[in-house]
């Protein structure tokens, strides 16, 4: 198969999943072309003579245009790729602008199929915005096949847009060979003392992630036991979280590492992962932590319960209940037997339910189904 992949270039979940999937599809012997405004975050250094290939979307500044038109530019580049390389299928990760661009390119080229994967905020945030509601619904309805990363998101899509079209649920996956527990004490010593519990949070620091809740939970934990917090990522709420850490007196034990490129090392030495988001379509960062044998303390929101089993691989609480989350964290960290059992269960879940060997074939089957379906 010849496949074009449209995705965001950032380190966010949709871009990570799209890139990792494209790489594995290419290694399975298929021709993969990435199309985007910038090279995807995890694609760097991965291409070669046999692909995957990257095609950059051009930009155009013109005084008459008050703002750029990424969808039209992406559609134009994708059309060129479809015609020049004989691409049969465009896999759009995110409804706007990628699915709309792919549908436009399909019409221009007069060929090819479009498969759209919904990742979360393209439905719950951007798609629900009145400015884009009809456009997003059109992208979903006009795609040849649609998938969602969780059953929660599929149901949300049906509710938000009032569509009855079929949406196949294909969960995200984690490379459990890369995301593993690191037992080397020297690696851990770079970030924490041997007697300190190491708590970690990874996100884009946007309001939905509730990073101030992360700091509040940690402050309560640190008042009871020796602990340290690593904050991985960046975004608009970083400064507020930083200021709060100072106000709560834990700034010396809270480290903001930015967009740390080697996130598997941080997760590999972590003792607990915090995810208090008000909404998550899936929770990929939590799954990556679970693969590293780290239990998860999270909010019971969105698709998180499809990943984190309450009482087995972590503990879930109501959104915003920082006291309950702090109690959950302390319960796990103080009970060595419970901590080890949850860590082992988390790893088992990652390997047996979310391994690439289980998920990637579902995508390949969806590709074949899309290509063989009615025009």
User: What is the mean predicted confidence (pLDDT) over 352-364?
Assistant: 96
Closest CA relative to residue 200, chosen from 356, 333, 320, 14: 333
List pLDDT tens digits, range 146-178: 999 999 999 999 998 888 899 999 999 999 999
- Indicate whether 122 pLDDT > 90: no
pLDDT band at 57 (very low <50, low <70, confident <90, very high): confident
Q: Which of 84-93, 127-136, 193-202, 300-309 has the lowest mean pLDDT?
A: 127-136
Contacts of 264 (CB under 8 A, 6+ apart): 178, 179, 180, 288, 292
Q: Output the pTM of the full model.
A: 0.90
| The predicted structure's pLDDT at residue 38 | 73
List pLDDT tens digits, range 236-292: 999 999 999 999 999 999 999 988 778 899 999 999 999 999 999 999 999 999 999
Q: Tell whether 344 and 272 lie within a shared domain.
A: yes
Q: Tell whether 288 and 158 lie within a shared domain.
A: no
User: What is the mean predicted confidence (pLDDT) over 39-57?
Assistant: 68
| The predicted structure's pLDDT at residue 297 | 98
Residue 320: CATH number of its domain: 3.40.50.2000
Q: Is 48 within the bounds of a domain?
A: yes
**Structural domain for 283, as ranges:** 185-353
State the pairing for strand pair 254-258/314-317: unpaired
Closest CA relative to residue 272, chosen from 232, 195, 330: 330
Q: Tell whether 108 and 68 lie within a shared domain.
A: yes
For the beta carbon of residue 129, count every other beta carbon within 10 angstroms.
11
- Indicate whether 193 pLDDT > 80: yes
Contacts of 29 (CB under 8 A, 6+ apart): none
Identify whether the C-beta of residue 217 lies closer than 8 Å to the C-beta of residue 274: yes
Q: Tell whether 133 and 49 lie within a shared domain.
A: yes
State the pairing for strand pair 227-232/272-275: unpaired
Q: Tell whether 333 and 365 lie within a shared domain.
A: no
Q: Tell whether 88 and 61 lie within a shared domain.
A: yes
List pLDDT tens digits, range 71-81: 888 899 999 99
Q: Is 180 within the bounds of a domain?
A: no
Q: Percentages helix, strand, coil for the chain, rounded to the nearest 5?
A: 45, 15, 35
pLDDT band at 36 (very low <50, low <70, confident <90, very high): confident
Q: List b or e across 245-278, with b for residues whose CB sees 16 or more CB atoms inside 10 angstroms.
A: beebebeebbebbeebeebbbbbbbbbbbbbbbe
Which residues are registered as beta bridge partners of 317? Answer: 299
Q: Tell whether 294 and 319 lie within a shared domain.
A: yes
Q: Tell whether 304 and 365 lie within a shared domain.
A: no
Q: Tell whether 36 and 128 lie within a shared domain.
A: yes
- Indicate whether 226 pLDDT > 90: yes
Give Cα 230 distance to the centre of its chain.
Answer: 19
Q: Tell whether 115 and 264 lie within a shared domain.
A: no
Q: Tell whether 195 and 148 lie within a shared domain.
A: no
Count of the separate structural domains present in the chain? 2
What whole-number distance in Å separates Cα of residue 218 and Cα of residue 275?
12
| The predicted structure's pLDDT at residue 64 | 45
Q: Tell whether 13 and 141 lie within a shared domain.
A: yes
């Amino acid at each position: 198969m010849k496949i074009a992949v449209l995705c965001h270039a950032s380190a966010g979940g949709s871009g990570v999943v799209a890139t990792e999937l494209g790489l594995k599809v290419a290694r399975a012997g298929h021709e993969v072309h990435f199309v985007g405004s910038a090279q995807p975050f995890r694609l760097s250094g991965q291409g070669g003579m046999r692909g995957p290939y990257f095609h950059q979307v051009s930009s155009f500044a013109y005084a008459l245009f008050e703002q750029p038109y990424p969808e039209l530019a992406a559609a134009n580049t994708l059309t060129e790729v479809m015609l020049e390389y004989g691409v049969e299928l465009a896999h759009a990760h995110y409804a706007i602008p990628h699915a709309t661009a792919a549908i436009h390119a399909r019409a221009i080229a007069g060929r090819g199929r479009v498969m759209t994967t919904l990742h979360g905020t393209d439905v719950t945030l951007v798609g629900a915005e009145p400015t884009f509601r009809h456009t997003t619904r059109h992208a979903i309805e006009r795609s040849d096949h649609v998938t969602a990363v969780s059953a929660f998101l599929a149901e949300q899509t049906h509710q938000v847009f009032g569509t009855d079209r079929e949406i196949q649920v294909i969960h995200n996956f984690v490379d459990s060979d890369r995301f593993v527990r690191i037992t080397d004490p020297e690696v851990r010593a770079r970030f924490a003392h041997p007697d300190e519990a190491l708590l970690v949070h990874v996100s884009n620091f946007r309001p939905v992630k509730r990073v101030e809740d992360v700091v509040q939970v940690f402050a309560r934990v640190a008042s009871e036991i020796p602990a340290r917090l690593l904050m991985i990522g960046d975004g608009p709420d970083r400064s507020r979280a930083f200021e709060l850490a100072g106000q709560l007196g834990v700034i010396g034990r809270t480290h903001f590492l930015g967009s740390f490129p080697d996130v598997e090392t941080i997760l590999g030495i972590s003792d607990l992962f915090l995810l208090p988001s008000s909404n998550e379509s899936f929770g990929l960062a939590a799954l990556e932590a679970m693969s590293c044998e780290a239990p998860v303390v999270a909010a019971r929101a969105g698709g998180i319960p499809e990943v984190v089993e309450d009482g087995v691989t972590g503990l879930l609480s109501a959104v915003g209940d920082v006291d309950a989350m702090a109690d959950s964290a302390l319960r796990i960290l103080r009970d060595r037997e419970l901590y080890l059992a949850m860590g082992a269960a988390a790893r088992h879940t990652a390997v047996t339910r979310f391994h690439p060997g289980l998920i990637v074939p579902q995508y390949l089957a969806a590709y074949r189904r899309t290509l063989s379906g009615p025009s």
